[in-house]
Amino acid sequence: MDKLTVMNEINEVLDTYCEGCFVKRQQAKDLGKTGAHQFCIQTCTIGEQLQFLGNEMNKLTK
């Protein structure tokens, strides 16, 4: 996998699942922006996928 492929996958995931996400929007209302961000990182399966892709990107830059 090259960096461009990983970046394209990250953008595709964000555009497909995160843009306009009702859960994130509701979490932001209830818990604030930081709480919504923590929810996405720790609980959301899409957040897990983004973390995986981010780790792949880090491997490529080393």
pLDDT of residue 53: 96
Task: Summarize pLDDT for 4-34 with one digit per residue, the tens.
Answer: 999 999 999 999 999 999 999 999 999 999 9
Helices (H), 1-62: 3-13, 22-42, 45-61
End-to-end alpha-carbon separation of the chain, Å?
14
Closest CA to 24 of 10, 7, 38: 38
CB 24 within 8 A of CB 53: no
Query: How high does pLDDT run on average in the chain?
Result: 94
Q: Hey, how many other C-beta atoms are within 10 angstroms of the C-beta on 48? A: 13
The band of 35, judged by pLDDT with boundaries at 50, 70 and 90, is: very high
What does pTM read for this prediction?
A: 0.83
